[in-house]
A and B are shown apart, each in its own frame.
Chain A
Amino acid sequence: MSRMRTIEMALGTSGVDSRGNPLRAPLVAQGDRAIAVDTPPLAFEPELDADHMLINIGPQHPATHGVLRLVLELDGETVVRCIPHIGYLHCGFEKIGEYRQYNQIIPWTDREDYLNSPGNNVAFVLGAERLFGVGMTDRCKVLRVILMELSRIMSHVVWLGTTSVDIGAFTPFLWLYQERENIYNLLEGWVGARLTTTATRVGGMAADIPDGWLDGLKAFIKGFPKTLEESVGMLETNAIWAGRTVGLGAISAADAVNAGLSGPMVRASGVAYDVRKDFPYLDYETYDFDVPVGSQGDVYDRFLVRVEEMRQSIRILEQAVRRLPGGPVNIDDPRIILPPKHKATSDMESMIHHFKLVMEGPRPPAGECYVPVESPKGEKGYYFVSDGTAKPVRWRIRPPSFVNLSAIPKMVEGHLLSDVIAINASIDIVMGEIDR
């Protein structure tokens, strides 16, 4: 024992780590010397390049936009290889969906891509309504367009704010977050929640907009472009911003399509694919708006594409506000829609109706469907499989960020370590959606 202690004191370490596993070169006492025993040669020889370094970013990291873990092989400052690890926010959404009725799943859609919760709510009910074989009222259509575009602005605003912070500019974050607070006020006035809205229901909405809500929206439409131009003006022609984003993380159009990228990622690379234009829903073909398409596919182009999308969203919102029709917001289908509350608490029939719908849930016919929407991250779709019961057999979330992130190894190769953060930020990932 005293021999072991002599070895320890000479080295300053005990040769074992905290779990008792031997450290890299296990030392064995021989006489009163310590020798390193080589492990016997293996059939598989690891290729160790002595100059390269392996570092680990995350999963707890301020700049990874969530719990993402990137393992980078570095040659100095240059990235040679990048291996992303995900799953640190995997919470079993799809499994839970099989144990919930369709309207009960809507709160989960909020938590999944939590930056554009209202958009997810809309995407979900579009798919569920197709599965049920029902439509929606005209007023509901326009309200949903308003929700989708508001949530697009919400999400891009957080994206721009956090990307600026990642690259080093803190002020746009504060200015743009105030705009997000204005949207929160609107959402809170409508559905009662700031972030996790659960604003839609199968066949309609959770509630109609209150009186005076449209004035608040109009005020927002008036005020937002000014803030946007202020924040973007600080960045667009800024030498530091351009220097840190131009030419970075470019991906070609062919690679982008082959990798299944969608949204601003694929549009910045020059592919004009927008679900609102190519597979329209909610009468988007009747709105007058443009879809920005980039050319280089680098981080700067993605920035420009998203900024322009925000401007176009304001344009759509203006049109939606002007065309909002009156009428009911829910369809008139007793198989799906709950009776009005005042009736359910006074009229026996309505009470039983309410009871049955809440306890058993509305049942769609057996079948399956996939309805994609253009979420701020890309093509988002929910794939439902129903066997005729109130709970889906399979609820699949097609996560745009998941597929977009899988292209990151290609995008960061050859760039510097600090560029990895910028490129990662430009993908606009939300780990809640990636890991579900």
Chain B
Amino acid sequence: MPTNDARLVTVDPAAQDGWVATRLDFLVNWARAGSLWPMPFGTACCAIEFMATAASRFDLARFGMERLSYSPRQADVLICAGRVPLKLAPVLRRIYQQMPQPKWVISMGACASTGGMFDNYAVVQGIDTIIPVDVYVPGCPPRPEALIHGIIMLQKKVMQERLKDRELHVEMEPDPTSQLYIPPSRIDELSEPFGNSVHQTRSAP
């Protein structure tokens, strides 16, 4: 009977995953998902809500995020909480590159996911233009429950990984001249204004 419990790994006989391999996958994923140590790259208001999530009312520690690691070398998840201006972009890229594999990224809040309400000269329009993102948590700022939902979503994603997937935890290689890892045209396409933002070039009354 198919179930919705993501902790159970679905075995497809045709895929030739042996019993040992799937049990090993499960063990590794369970260990990883249950002890994701976050690196809170907190910049603005979302960082305050992150702190509230870590405080006693919502308590992130129950989800394995007991130890907040401010050193990227010892972290698993980069939680980018807050808006990332262009001046901070190389710092974020450097911090991400300093994290050892396997690593994941949660983009917390509207500003980290898409630039949020700051569609202007100073803000990166979504950190996924700089680093690869696994989970986006919308909100401005997202409620602690929303962040926890995002974390659980990440845990489910981790549970579904397979050790034999070689492409999974390969370090991103940006283009050496431009330092971008997605094509510039794609970045421009993603960052185009739409809806209300289209009118913001009109400062006129």
- Whether a CB of chain B sits under 8 angstroms from the CB of A195 is yes
Interfacial chain B residues near A174, Cβ < 8 Å: 55-56
Q: Is the CB of A158 within 8 A of B48?
A: yes
Within 8 Å of chain B (Cβ to Cβ): is A61?
A: yes
A173 touches B55 (CB 8 A): yes
Once A60-B41, A111-B117, A432-B45 are accepted as A-B contacts, the answer to whether A89 and B203 lie under 8 Å apart by CB is no
- For residue A162, which residues in chain B have a CB less than 8 angstroms away from its CB? 51
- In the bound assembly, the distance between CA atoms of A180 and B49 in angstroms comes to 11
Give the residue name and chain of the A residue nearest to B200 (CB): A99
Query: Residues of B contacting A390 with CB < 8 Å?
Result: 205
The 8 Å CB contact of B48, one of A99, A114, A173, is A114
Contact check, B120 vs A92: say whether CB atoms are below 8 A apart. Answer: yes
Write the nearest CB–CB distance from A59 to chain B, whole angstroms.
6
Bound Cα distance from A67 to B57, whole angstroms = 26
What mask results when residues 165 to 187 of chain A are scored 1 for a CB within 8 Å of chain B, else 0? 00000000110011011001000
Chain A binding surface, main DSSP class: loop
Chain B contacts with A in 20-79, Cβ cutoff 8 A: 40-41, 43-45, 47-49, 51-52, 55-57, 68, 70
A-B contact count (CB 8 A): 107
In this complex, the member of A95, A111, A115 whose beta carbon has the largest number of chain B beta carbons within 10 angstroms is: A111
CB contact between A95 and one of B40, B56, B87, B120 (< 8 Å): that residue: B120
Query: Which of B40, B44, B88, B91 has the most C-beta atoms of chain A within 10 angstroms of its own C-beta?
Result: B44
**B95 and A196 contact, CB distance less than 8 A:** no
A408-436 contact mask (Cβ, 8 Å, vs B): 1 or 0: 00000000000000000000000110010
Contact of B45 among A173, A177, A178, A196 (CB under 8 A): A196
Flag if A90 contacts B85 (CB, 8 Å). Answer: yes
Q: Is the CB of A195 within 8 A of B49?
A: yes
A87 in contact (CB, < 8 A): yes
- Closest chain-B Cβ to A188's Cβ sits at a distance in Å of 9
Query: Which residues of B are found within 8 Å of A435, using beta-carbon distances?
Result: 85
Cβ of B108 under 8 Å from chain A: no
- Given contacts A88-B91, A174-B55, A180-B52, is CB(A195)–CB(B45) below 8 Å? yes
Most chain B CB within 10 A, of A59, A107, A158, is at A59
Give bound CA distance, A114 to B70, whole Å: 22
CA distance A360 to B68 in the complex (A): 47
What's the Cα separation between A390 and B205 when bound, in Å?
A: 6
Task: Determine how close the nearest CB of chain A comes to the CB of B17; give it in whole angstroms.
Answer: 39
**Interchain nearest-CB distance for A18 vs B (Å):** 10
Q: Taking the complex as formed, is A66 at the interface, i.e. its CB lies under 8 A from any CB of chain B?
A: yes
A435–B70 CA distance with the chains assembled, in angstroms? 22
CB–CB A62/B70 < 8 A: yes
* Cβ-defined contact, B55 with A178, below 8 A: yes
Interface size on A, residues (CB 8 A): 43
Contact of A92 among B52, B56, B118 (CB under 8 A): B118
CB closest residue in chain B, given A363 = B205
Asked if A98 is an interface residue, CB under 8 A from chain B, the answer is: yes
In whole angstroms, how far apart are the Cα atoms of A339 and B70 in the complex? 50
Q: Mark A86-104, 1 if CB is under 8 A from B, else 0.
A: 0111111001101100000
- Beta-carbon nearest neighbor of B54 in chain A: A177
In the bound complex, what is the Cα–Cα distance between A74 and B88 (angstroms)?
A: 25
Flag whether A389 is at the interface (Cβ < 8 A): yes
Which A residues touch B201, using CB under 8 A? 99
Q: Which of A60, A95, A177 meets B91, CB within 8 Å?
A: A60
Q: Is A108 on the interface with B (CB-CB < 8 A)?
A: yes
Q: Are B120 and A194 in contact (CB under 8 A)?
A: no
> Does A111 lie within 8 Å of B45, measured CB to CB?
yes
Q: In the assembled complex, how far is the CB of residue A343 from the closest CB belonging to chain B, in whole angstroms?
A: 25
The CA-CA distance from A92 to B57 in the complex, in Å, is 34
Cross-chain contact A89 with B52 (CB below 8 angstroms) = no
Chain B residues, CB < 8 A from A61? 70
Q: Which of A178, A196, A391 contacts B57 (CB 8 A)?
A: A178
A194 B45 Cβ-Cβ under 8 A = no
Asked if A89 and B88 make an inter-chain contact with CB atoms under 8 angstroms apart, the answer reads yes
Interface-centre pick from A62, A91, A96, A158 (highest chain B CB count, 10 A): A91
* Complex Cα spacing A87 to B203, Å: 25
Known contacts A89-B43, A96-B120, A196-B140; is-contact A59 B52 (Cβ 8 Å): no
B120: nearest chain-A partner, CB-CB: A92
Option from A89, A99, A196 in Cβ contact (under 8 Å) with B141: A196
In the bound assembly, the distance between CA atoms of A89 and B84 in angstroms comes to 7
Cα separation A184 to B55 with both chains bound (whole Å): 14
Q: Separation in Å of the B24 CB from the closest CB of chain A?
A: 35
B166 contacts the other chain (CB 8 A)? no
Closest to A110 in B: B45
Cross-chain contact B51 with A177 (CB below 8 angstroms): yes
Q: Is the CB of B57 within 8 A of A181?
A: yes
Q: How far is the CB of B5 from chain A (nearest CB, A)?
A: 32
Least CB distance from B176 to A in Å reads 9
Chain B residues positioned under 8 Å from A66 (CB to CB): 43-44, 47
Contacts of A195 in B (CB 8 A): 45, 48-49, 141
| Complex: chain B residue closest to A62, CB-CB | B70
Give bound CA distance, A196 to B46, whole Å: 10
Per the 8 Å Cβ criterion, residues 64-100 of A in contact with B are 66-67, 87-92, 95-96, 98-99
Residue B121 lies at the interface, judged by CB distance under 8 Å to chain A: yes
CB-defined A-B contacts under 8 Å, sample of 10: A60-B70, A66-B47, A90-B122, A95-B122, A111-B83, A117-B45, A174-B56, A195-B49, A363-B205, A391-B205
Binding site for B on A (CB under 8 A): 59-62, 66-67, 87-92, 95-96, 98-99, 107-108, 110-111, 114-115, 117, 158, 162, 173-174, 177-178, 180-181, 184, 194-196, 360, 363, 389-391, 431-432, 435
